Structure 1
Amino acid sequence: MDKVPMTVRGEEELREEHDRLMKRRPLITKAIAEAREFGDLKENAEYHAAREEQGFCEAQIRDIEYKLSVAQIIDISKIPNRGKVVFGATVTLIDCNTDDEVTYRIVGDDEANIKKNLISVNSPIARGLIGKKEGDDVAISTPSGVREFEVSSVEYA
């Protein structure tokens, strides 16, 4: 089983979600028990809804437990590669054609969320940035073609 990189914050968020779901478990069990008291289970919408919610909750718990079991937690503050783009770094780029500025944080696959500017370490942009330093120019293949960026800053939060 290969380890999957994850930031410290990503692990914290998964553990928080796991705790929330574990607290939800007894409430769902109680809802199932209460729904059973209504009688005929074949036509009992509350019972079926509670059982469906239980299945969904259990699947999420298993998924989170699996992700945590294969996670390799990487604490960026303990990595000595200062100045280079590495996993967990926050990178500000300047588009060489438009002078637009964009900032991305390179995270694990499960943490990626483009709306929050969190990109997967396996994305084409992140792969093109890994190992680069402030001031470096980088050409990255995107679905709309090759784009050139300058690495404006690299931060480790």
Structure 2
Amino acid sequence: MSTVSYYTAEGLKKLKDELEYLKSVERPKASEAIAEARDKGDLSENAEYDAAKEAQGLLELKIAKMEELVSNARLIDESQLDISKVLVLSTVKIRNKANGMEMKYTLVAESEADLKSGKISVTSPIGKGLLGKSAGEVAEIKVPNGTLNFEILEITRD
């Protein structure tokens, strides 16, 4: 089940850097831990050896998943994006119709989402609800708490 994920240049570089770190730093550490545990004697009763082998297995699983992510990653060409509609990498200023509160979010790939810096995933309920909308439209978004209505005030590319 390989799904294509879209990334900014910064997000893809971060993903590749983390994968390289796991391969070049963490993988040798795991092998070293296994070798040290093996040197301590009887493997049948060596809990340290079992733990090191399990940690290595988890690390290899993480590396395999990240390699799949990188192989299915696509770089977003920002120059080809339509500015009149909300798309990935759009910065959207919205107003909650219920309380008048205004918010500004940038829609990004799921792995780049960071609410503290105003980046929300396009796969989140709000992200999905905003996609494809134009300035002036009202997005009716179903969230676990009920339904929210957001008026789209402005769409920009930062």
- Shorter chain as denominator, the TM-score bin is 0.7 to 0.9
Q: After alignment, is 125-134 or 51-60 more displaced? A: 125-134
Partner SS, residue 40 of structure 2: coil
Per the normalisation by structure 1, the TM-score is 0.82
Residue 82, structure 1, aligned to residue 83, structure 2: yes
Q: Which consecutive residues of structure 2, in runs of 5 or more, have no partner in the other structure?
A: none
- What are the residue-to-residue correspondences of 1:42-57 with 2, within 5 Å? 42-57=44-59
- Give the percent of matched residue pairs that are identical in Structure 1 and Structure 2: 38
2:141–2:148 contact (8 Å) kept in structure 1: yes
TM-score (norm: length of structure 2): 0.82
CA RMSD of aligned residues (A): 2.3
Residue deviations 1:13-67, cap 9 Å, x none? Answer: 2112101201211121112111111101122232222212111111111000001
SS in 1 for 2:120: strand
Structure 1 gaps, min length 5: none
User: How far 1:4 moved relative to its partner?
Assistant: 2.9
Instruction: State the AA in 1 paired with 2:73.
Output: A
Spell out the pairing of 1:62-77 with structure 2 (5 A cutoff): 62-76=64-78
Equivalence for 2:132 = 131
Whether the 8 Å contact between 2:4 and 2:74 is mirrored in structure 1 is yes
Kindly indicate whether the alpha-carbon contact (under 8 Å) linking 2:81 and 2:87 is maintained by their aligned counterparts in 1.
no
Classify the secondary structure of the residue corresponding to 2:29: helix
Contact 2:96–2:148, Cα closer than 8 Å, also in 1: yes
Q: Structure 1 counterpart of 2:85, which letter?
A: K
**CA distance, structure 2, for counterparts of residue 123 and residue 112 of structure 1:** 10
User: Structure 2 CA distance, aligned partners of 1:2 and 1:32?
Assistant: 34
Q: Distance in 1 between matches of 2:117 and 2:54?
A: 31
